[in-house]
Amino acid sequence: MSDGDPPLRLLSLPNKPLQNIVRFMNHIDQFALSLVSKRSKELVKSIDIKCWRINIKVDTDVSIQIQFSHDTIECSFDNYQRSIDNPSPTNIISKVSLGNRGGFEHNKQEYRFEEWLNHTLEVYHQSEINKVLFITLLPDMQSFRKTFSSFSFLTWARGATNADVLKVFRIFRPEKQLTIAVAIGYESILNRFIKHWMAGSNPRLRYIELQSMYHPSPQAEAVFRGIKHEIVSEEDPKTLNAFRTSGIEDVEFLGGYNIRRKDGTLATISFNKRYCFVMFICAAICRVCSDLLLWHTGPSFTSSAIMSDGDPPLRLLGLPNKPLRSIVRFMNHIDQFALSLVSKRSKELVKSIDIKCRKINIKVDTDVSIQIQFSHDTIECSFDNYQRSIDNPSPTNIISKVSLGNRGGFVHNKEEYRFEEWLNHTLEVYHQSEINKVLFITLLPDMQSFRKTFSSFSFLTWVRGTTNADVLKVFRIFRPEKQLTIAVGRYYHDRYKKIDSLHEVLVQNLDYVYIGLMGQLTLDDLLIMNCRKIEIFFQLAINYESILNLFLKHWMAGSNPRLRYIELQSMYHPSPQAEAVFRGIKHQVVSKEDSNTLKTFRSFGIKKGNLLLWHTGPSVTSSAIMSDGDPPLRLLSLPNTPRRNIVRFMEHIDQFALSLVSKRSKELVKSVDIKCRKIIIKVKTAISIRILISSYVFIECSFDDYQRSIDNLSPINIESKVSLGIGEGFVHSKPEYRFEEWLNHALELYHQSELDRVIIFTPLPDMKSFRKTFNKVPTLIIIGADDEPKIIEYYRCLRPEKNLIFTVGKLCVLRNENTELLHEVFLQNLDYIHVAWMSRLTLDDLLIMNCRKLEIWFHLAINYESILNRFINHWLAGSNPRLRYIELECVRNNFSHEGVLRGIKHNTVSKEDPRTLNAFRTSGIANVKFLGGYNIRKKDGTTATVLFKNRRSIAMLVWS
């Protein structure tokens, strides 16, 4: 190389082809071209090449490292600081290489080391150096420092003494991170650090982990010399809970030592083989008043309280809203409930964190209790004094014993609270509109008064009834909306007195009725039932078999239209004889091992048989042993309407099986207009076509022989294993059918114009041949691809029209080698892209996106907070015009709300804001719950709401 424009025709080309040629050069050739002249340098700059980062490495020589995702250009300078009189000579020679491969040597007359560095930063559009790595020190460190401005990371691989460390740090002062390999007097350092922390240093510290390559685990005696401490076992529940809820990942507590500051702040220190030294600031105990004790365990608070009305002098309630709600959110259930009883303000605070319970029940036994059921716990509020006095059945200031399961709790009363207020308080705090169940073990003196304490409820259970009259009385008062369960003791003694006394109960439009024990069962009892499911345990029935026979005939004639299941059990009658029960009724014997009937009971349907019809409630199911051509089936001889009705009520797999018999049977099945939700192709060890009928019901046709042979990728007469869900099915082949014909058959049969999605778990030998088997596909899902090139390969081949979802195995390893490889995908005009897991997220990844909805899970992002801030600023300026929703979640990096929104005008929006709530509800974005956030607005009036789910996850919805 020499300066001046060489006689290259390249530079004579027009700008666009010239830039295109340079864009596709190797990285080292682009860099070499930038050194030829000012014009060539501007040309290389104009194509906007991005590198990952630029570092300086100081070893036996000084080198500039330009890192790309798969390559690194290194410019090394042997003569830098070889002479004290001229540490940075002009016309310095640089050896330029690409990785471990060859390169070239070059020098420019006006270039010193400084100019080479500035040239590199300018060509690759970098504002600063990323990292300076020292392996050895230079003679003139001050002179070297002047060659560049700010930088982020300083690494010293082989430190010497503390004095050297301090000297280097004072000269260079990195902006973000410092890595030093120095450890002298390790145990003494730890001891002095802990003493300083106890005296008040490091006030923001919550967790520190130290690990030495050469030092053994420090000795506790030396580390704690002169420090008061307590031994904590690895089974200590409070410390275990603090570690589990700390938010610090991969920290295992194996026992340790507690130390405490004067202000009560507690830290736990642990030594183990993996971490060597771990210190977790896990608790601060503060007795704020005699009534309420709070225990701070990292991000959570638990509390035990002897409650009193009015706001006690709690510092808790003096905190700002966000930390206050965070503290309450991590309290135990009983502590949250206790806090809700302190005052109106504390009640609203607990309500605001939106706690959900599974259900709220009332139990009436020797005392009345309200049961609040969570997934693993139950809070019970019991009231001894309720309805103890006829004159005052529900006294104010009633005392409640509140307990969590079988463990202890507290006793509390509020002056204005009766039982009704306690119940309404509970419903309001847990956002429940009604009670789930009322359980009676004994009756109350004033049932009418009790009924007025709540509105509607779903289930009524009476464990020990007395007479039919009592049952009828209770039912008339309470009237459950869905289910009634009655278990009576002397039920059958008075059944003969008034045999229709229960008909008022049985005629109700309920989902489920259970009666045990009924005295006498009659035909009228069965025919008058209007529920979907009924179970009756009774003493006797006169002419029991005749009653059953008549009931079946009435049902076949149209009685009990809502009935789906009935079970009758007699205390004294032997099992009825089938001959008598089915007298005059056409029926078929089925063995107990018949797999079809077993599945009928499990899923209300039968498989297999020779077109056997079995009426199960509202549907008819059928199964057929299949062969090609029209078999001699009477089914096909029937008139059109009954024939189609029979097919309409067949099992899904039987309908599909019938469609394969012949063209005529296929047209018959098509004519009943069966609908499926979607048709999917799944590529795994075997390729399969999945016909999704509903959320839990699907037909799967799998093909073991597809693309097993390179010479015959899609053989004719290919065999398919057809199954319903994970159950049994059949194996079938058709002489003229390849995989393509099976797919077209399914699409035609279920009136689908196209596939819904293709899911790839493992690649096929010939993806292009596979692509030709279908027209277009809206959604492509790639599970566990090896690397980014595979993602690109699948995408280019299959080209989904709307959605792309992919997860990769080694993405985190290879991401640094070619950061722009995925940009071809991100640029596409898709509706939805989901990525998991991306190793490193950059601002360019976000700005180049052209989809409407974007979700990315990734491992890290350098300057995560800054990336988010800059992305929002770019969006406000007009980038990503199609974007409607974005969600990002990082494994390693945290951010603060303030940092992300720094310099951005925004408004805080509560979770109850009606406009924003409506925007989220009508957005069409599933599984997004609005719990408050920040509104930002473009100049054109477009509004977006930013949500911070936690310190690693952010979402933004564009809604107007």
Dump pLDDT digits (tens) for 794-807. 888 888 999 999 88
Residue-level pLDDT at 6:
46
Residue-level pLDDT at 614:
34
| Out of 680-689, 911-920, 935-944, least confident range | 911-920
pLDDT at 607 over 80: no
Residue-level pLDDT at 726:
76
Higher pLDDT among residues 368 and 464, named by residue:
368
SS3 of 526, please? helix
* Residue 911, burial from CB neighbour count under 10 angstroms (0-12, 13-18, 19+): middle
Structure tokens at 263: 């202000």
This prediction has a pTM of 0.40
Higher pLDDT among residues 938 and 218, named by residue:
938
pLDDT at 297 over 70: no
Residue-level pLDDT at 943:
93
Residues 647 and 672 sit within 8 Å (Cβ to Cβ): yes
Q: How confident is the model at residue 314 (pLDDT cuts 50, 70, 90)?
A: very low
Domain locations along the chain:
50-180, 186-287, 356-581, 595-651+659-665
Q: Which of 937, 932, 934 is nearest to 917 (CA)?
A: 932
Which residues does 231 contact at the CB level (< 8 Å), separation at least 6?
255, 256, 257
pLDDT at 218 over 80: no
Report the alpha-carbon distance of residue 907 to residue 781 in Å, rounded. 38
DSSP 8-class letter at 422: H
Report the alpha-carbon distance of residue 24 to residue 18 in Å, rounded. 10
Peptide bond preceding 33: is omega within 30 degrees of 0, i.e. cis?
no
Residue-level pLDDT at 501:
62
Residue-level pLDDT at 816:
47
Dump pLDDT digits (tens) for 388-405. 877 788 888 899 999 987
pLDDT at 947 over 50: yes
Dump pLDDT digits (tens) for 633-670. 456 666 677 678 778 878 889 899 999 988 988 999 99
- Give 20-64 as a DSSP string: HHHHTS-HHHHHHHHTT-HHHHHHHHHTT---SEEEEEESSSEEE
Residue-level pLDDT at 320:
75
Structure tokens at 124: 């690759």
Dump pLDDT digits (tens) for 452-500. 888 888 888 887 666 667 777 888 888 888 888 887 654 444 444 444 5
Report the alpha-carbon distance of residue 701 to residue 733 in Å, rounded. 11
Structure tokens at 823: 């940009």
Q: Distance between alpha carbon 501 and the CA centroid of its chain, in Å?
A: 53
Q: What is the mean pLDDT of residues 79-99?
A: 85
| Out of 348-352, 534-538, 811-815, least confident range | 811-815
Peptide bond preceding 837: is omega within 30 degrees of 0, i.e. cis?
yes
Phi/psi for 925 (5° steps) reads -90, 115
pLDDT at 550 over 50: yes
- Give 778-837 as a DSSP string: SEEEEEEESSHHHHHHHHHHH--SSEEEEEESSHHHHTTT-TTTTHHHHTS--SEEEEEE
Dump pLDDT digits (tens) for 36-47. 888 889 999 999
Residue-level pLDDT at 217:
66
Report the alpha-carbon distance of residue 182 to residue 162 in Å, rounded. 8
Q: Which of 491, 547, 556 is nearest to 524 (CA)?
A: 547
| Out of 160-169, 344-353, 912-921, least confident range | 160-169
Phi/psi for 102 (5° steps) reads -70, 175
Over the range 223-246, which residues count as b (16 or more CB within 10 Å of their CB) and which as e?
Answer: bbeeeebeebeeebebbebbbeeb
| Out of 190-204, 315-329, 745-759, least confident range | 315-329
Report the alpha-carbon distance of residue 433 to residue 35 in Å, rounded. 74
Report the alpha-carbon distance of residue 649 to residue 670 in Å, rounded. 14
Report the alpha-carbon distance of residue 934 to residue 488 in Å, rounded. 58
pLDDT at 137 over 60: yes
| Out of 111-125, 203-217, 665-679, least confident range | 203-217
